[in-house]
Chains A and B, each alone.
Chain A
Amino acid sequence: MSQVLLVVGTRKGCFVLESDGDRRDWNVRGPFCEGWPVYHALYDTDSGNIYAAAASEWHGATVWRSLDRGETWTQSSEGLGYADDGDLKMSKVSSLSAAHGRLLAGAEQAGIFESRDDGATWKLLSTLDHPASKDWNDPDKQPPGHLGVSATIPHPDDAERFWAIVQGYSLFETADDGKTWTARNNGLRAEWPREYDDIGFCVHKFVYSPTDMSRMYQQNHCGMHRSDDGGHSWTEITEGLPSDFGFAAAVHPHDKDTFYVVPVDPGHARTMHDGKAAVWRTRDAGSSWRRLHEGLPQSDAYLGVLREGMTNDALDSPGFYFGTSTGQVFASCDEGDSWKEIASYLPAISSVEVAVVD
């Protein structure tokens, strides 16, 4: 019988939640990774390994891995750093992806590293050369905050094509394995001055439809957007949502017009609106939105969900999952119509990823 694994990255280590295909009862294991702050963790369905991108204030950035579904863990940062005499410094590994027999790690300062030996060693693949790259690596020219590669998104069929997000600057696409990059921000909105025509947009989360690679969605700092041409142009679809701001997003695995987001307060709070937890769903590609809240707390609930905090499986009746800044994990097996709290007291959650395994 299939087993469903949720790999949850938190401020205090990685956790694994397990259930069977019914996804009613869940077992929580962890914390793993010696309690290191984990920014993104995932299960690689090709290798069967779990990986966790982590960074310790004391001991720097590394990637933890478990070859036995979480029973034992080791860490390696061999090659996961910039040259000692160079301008770039590695502060953390922000994101991971696994596809085509390799791992990609997005780093701060902005760069992408790859591993082709299951995370034992790493090497620098790209620093996303662009006329503006000197700016996003120059603290004096950065917007406040930390900038890095917050996501790499592999193409499912083409190993040399993938997307990368440089925080605060751009969604980029490469078709030659990181040698050259094209900004994919046409039609996006920015509420600040920009020095370059093609970049200067704050992309929070980017997803594509598994049923149609031309259909993409993104939660931006400034609005929710849809693309019908593989990211070459974007149309804003914020109308009907309680705010234009959020981080997490998920696309239905079998219906390209169905898409989920978690709008949050855009100010300091960055929690769900009015203390009432909700996920919002469109079934018509963003023409209209419905607030989904059954089973979610509707009073005094100030929950945040980060960019990698929501995911879905691809079962016939897909499950949707999100983890919160206050340590809860919620799951829905009816496309978001109702939700169940399946973990209540984890540390603040950075990421939730799912895998269905035999």
Chain B
Amino acid sequence: MADVYLPSTLPPLFPGLPRRIELDAPTVDDAIRQIDERWPGFRDRLVEGGPAIRPHIHFYVDQERAGLGTRLEPRSRVDVIAAISGG
């Protein structure tokens, strides 16, 4: 099971969505789609047309910068980080 850690800005948008989710998925994109199946609209908050990860969102898999196609291992840690921006 991979562990997915989400930014604090997402749970308020989707009732019941936790900050940490365990799931089995072969890639980052599959992980996002799995969460989107349970919380429809989730993917659109992280992925834009292209498809591509939104410019101010970064994914890390086991502390390495990742893309939608990055493969996940059974014990991977996925961190979804909202950029330090705004004000």
Residues of A within 8 A of B (CB): 34, 56-60, 62, 75-78, 81-84, 86, 88-90
Contact = CB atoms under 8 A, between A and B. Distances in A.
A89 B83 CA distance: 20
B49 A58 contact: no
Given A34-B13, A77-B44, 17 more contacts: A56-B9, A58-B7, A58-B9, A58-B54, A58-B83, A59-B54, A59-B82, A60-B44, A60-B48, A62-B44, A62-B45, A76-B41, A78-B44, A82-B49, A84-B49, A89-B49, A90-B48
B12 interface: yes
Contact of A86 (B40, B49, B57): B49
B85 A57 contact: yes
Most chain A CB within 10 A, of B41, B49, B51, is at: B49
A56 B57 CA distance: 11
Interface centre among A59, A75, A83 (most CB of B within 10 A): A59
A84 B46 contact: no
A301 to B, nearest CB: 24
B86 A57 contact: yes
14 contacts: A56-B9, A57-B56, A57-B83, A58-B45, A58-B85, A59-B13, A59-B46, A59-B57, A60-B45, A60-B48, A77-B41, A81-B44, A84-B49, A90-B49
Interface of B: 7, 9-10, 12-13, 40-41, 44-46, 48-51, 54, 56-57, 82-83, 85-86
B49 A81 contact: yes
Given A34-B9, A59-B54, A89 B82 contact: no
A89 B82 CA distance: 20
A83 B49 contact: yes
B57 to A, nearest CB: 6
Contacts of B7: 58
The 4 closest A-B pairs by CB, nearest first: A59-B45, A58-B82, A57-B56, A58-B56
A89 B51 CA distance: 11
Nearest to A57: B56
Main secondary structure of the interface of B (DSSP, over half): loop
Given A59-B54, A76-B41, A77-B41, A34 B12 contact: yes
Contacts of B56: 57-58
Contacts of B10: 59
Candidate in A56, A78, A86 with the most chain B CB atoms within 10 angstroms = A56
A90 B9 CA distance: 20
A308 B28 CA distance: 40
The interface centre, meaning the residue of A57, A76, A86, A90 with most chain B CB atoms within 10 A of its CB, is: A57
Nearest to B7: A58
A223 to B, nearest CB: 35
Contacts of B54: 58-60
A84 B41 contact: no
A88 B50 CA distance: 10
Nearest to A58: B82
Contacts of B44: 60, 62, 77-78, 81
A110 to B, nearest CB: 15
Contacts of A56: 9
B49 A75 contact: no
A35 to B, nearest CB: 9
A76 B48 CA distance: 14
A43 to B, nearest CB: 22
B83 A84 contact: no
A39 B48 CA distance: 20
A30 to B, nearest CB: 15
Nearest to A76: B41
A86 B50 CA distance: 8
A264 B60 CA distance: 47
A82 B41 CA distance: 15
Contacts of B45: 58-60, 62
A150 to B, nearest CB: 21
A132 to B, nearest CB: 23
Nearest to A82: B49
